[in-house]
Amino acid sequence: METQAFLVQQIVNALFLGSIYALIALGYTMVYGIIQLINFAHGEMFTAGSFIGLIVLGALQRMGFVESHFVLSMFVVFAMAMAYVAFLGVAIEHVAYKPLRRASRLSALLSALGMSIFLSNGMMLSQGVSDRAYPPVLGTGGIHVLGARITYGQIFIVAFAVALMVGLNLFVKKTKLGKAMRATAQNRRMAGLLGINIDKTIRTTFVIGPALGAAAGVMVGMYYGSVRFDMGFIPGIKAFAAAVLGGIGNITGAMVGGMLIGMVEVLWAAFLPSEWKDVTAFIVLILVLYFRPTGILGERVIEERV
């Protein structure tokens, strides 16, 4: 393999991993922006989405629907997974976070942690302890660019991720509900006084954030080919780091942060001793935050009490 091809291939690897992190990070950052809560259970939403995707995809494949209507069945798989996890998100918000909206932030954080443990063990009990194989739908075909191999699966997933991110940005900037969300994020009380339904806005956030996480879960399942009950934990932590790195509460920041973490991890492992890649990712995180204490794109200094 030539050096140029090697480099291009590694950059493709990094972009792909980065876009997965970015997509998960969006869910963290949205929830944080609105209610200043680190939603520890977000990694589990990602896993839940992956499982539902597997269930729906398996059912469709047994009916022979995937071969005949590929695009439609992909749409159904993603839609079902996202809808299910949106329900889950709303339910969790109602049960575990809403009663704590006025309590100390740490109490809410702990409640989220409890939910995370509960969901991950619940999925372990209901879906089994071992990893489950995803039906191979993406195939192994691909194209060669500058000597690097890019599979159609990768292209499909990155395109879909970018579409989701652009769609989200438009939603938040242009629609009425999106504007309400931004207003709530800025000043909840003022937004309430201006006639914005705060409860509804927060609920919307808990529909969109988890749904994006679910989409990422289905993508990861399809691309890597397996799902397991605890697979949300490590990407969850990395995506959380990405969200903070980009400036938590900032949607563009989450994308930048996700890409950066993906880049650091892949490029370090590509050229230097690979066992130190996670250490490096965290050191980069700390250095960035040392020089820019509110993240790369974060502006507001959020003052709060623990």
Partner 1 sequence: MMRKLCVFAICLGLVFGLHTLAAAKTLKIGTLSPLTGPYAQDGTDILQGVKTAVALVEAAGGIPGFDKIEVLPGDSACDGGKATMAANKHINSGVHAVVGAYCSSATIPASVPLNEAKIIQITPASTHEDVTERGFKYLFRACPRDDAQAAAMVSFLENALKIKTLALIDDKQTYTVGLTKNIRHLVENHGKIKIVAHEHIAPGDKDFTAVLTKLKKIDPDAIYMSTYQPEGSLMARQAKALGLRAHLLSEDAVYHPKYIEVAGKAAEGSFLTFAKAPDTPERRNFEAEYKKMWGVKKIGSYAYYAFDAANIILGAVKIAKSTDPDKLEQVIRSTTWKGATGTIKFDHKGDRGASYIIWVVKNGEFVPYWNPQTGQYF
Partner 2 sequence: MVRREIQRFCIYTLFLTILVLPMVGMRGPEFEARRAFTVLSVLVGVLLLTTVFRLLRETSFYRNLGQRIRQRRDRALGKIQVLPRPVALGSLFFLLALFPFAANNYVIDVAITVLIYVTLGLGLNVVVGLAGLLDLGYIAFYAVGAYTYSLLNLHYGIPFWFALPFGVVIGSLCGCIIGYPTLKMRGDYLAIVTLGFGEIIRLVLNNWDNLTKGPNGLLGMDKPKLILPSFSDGGLSWTVVPLKSLPSLYFVILAVALLTVIAVHRLNNSRIGRAWIAIREDETAAELTGIPTTLLKLLAYALGAVFAAVAGAFFAAKLSYTNPNFFVFLESCVVLSIVVLGGMGSIPGIILGALALIAIPELFRELASYRMLAFGGAMTVMMVLKPEGFIPATRRKRELHEEELESEEAADE
Question: Distance from CA of residue 82 to its chain's centroid?
Answer: 12
d(CA 85, CA 64): 25
3-state SS, residue 93: helix
The only residue of 15, 55, 61, 131 in contact with partner 1, by rule CB under 8 A: 131
Q: How far is the CB of 67 from partner 1 (least distance, A)?
A: 17
Nearer to partner 1, 91 or 113 (CB): 113
The only residue of 233, 288, 289, 296 in contact with partner 1, by rule CB under 8 A: 233
Q: How many residues of this chain bind partner 2 (CB under 8 A)?
A: 74
d(CA 270, CA 11): 10
Among partner 1, partner 2, none, what does residue 173 contact (CB within 5–8 Å per kind)?
A: none
Q: Which stretch binds partner 2 (CB under 8 A): 4-12, 51-59, 154-162, 164-172?
A: 51-59
d(CA 134, CA 127): 13
Q: How far is the CB of 157 from partner 1 (least distance, A)?
A: 12
> Do 111 and 35 touch, CB atoms closer than 8 A?
no
266 binds partner 1 (CB under 8 A): yes
3-state SS, residue 137: coil
> Do 229 and 47 touch, CB atoms closer than 8 A?
yes
Residues 6+ apart with CB under 8 A from 12: 145, 148, 150, 154
Among partner 1, partner 2, none, what does residue 168 contact (CB within 5–8 Å per kind)?
A: none
Nearer to partner 2, 51 or 160 (CB): 51
User: In the chain, which ranges are continuous DSSP H helix?
Assistant: 3-35, 42-62, 65-68, 70-92, 105-127, 152-174, 176-186, 188-193, 198-224, 233-246, 251-271, 277-291
d(CA 254, CA 139): 30
> Do 38 and 112 touch, CB atoms closer than 8 A?
yes
The only residue of 149, 179, 182, 203 in contact with partner 1, by rule CB under 8 A: 149
d(CA 82, CA 75): 11
Nearer to partner 1, 1 or 306 (CB): 1
Q: Which stretch binds partner 1 (CB under 8 A): 29-37, 86-94, 168-176, 269-277?
A: 269-277
Among partner 1, partner 2, none, what does residue 266 contact (CB within 5–8 Å per kind)?
A: partner 1
How open is the CA angle 79-82-86, to the nearest 5 degrees? 135
Nearer to partner 2, 153 or 249 (CB): 249
Among partner 2, partner 1, none, what does residue 140 contact (CB within 5–8 Å per kind)?
A: partner 1
Q: Is 280 exposed, middle or buried (0-12, 13-18, 19+ CB in 10 A)?
A: middle
Nearer to partner 2, 19 or 116 (CB): 116
114 binds partner 2 (CB under 8 A): yes
Residues that bind partner 1 (CB under 8 A): 1, 6, 9-10, 13-14, 16-17, 20, 121, 124, 129-133, 136, 140, 149, 151, 220, 224-226, 228, 230-231, 233-235, 265-267, 269-270, 273-275, 277-278
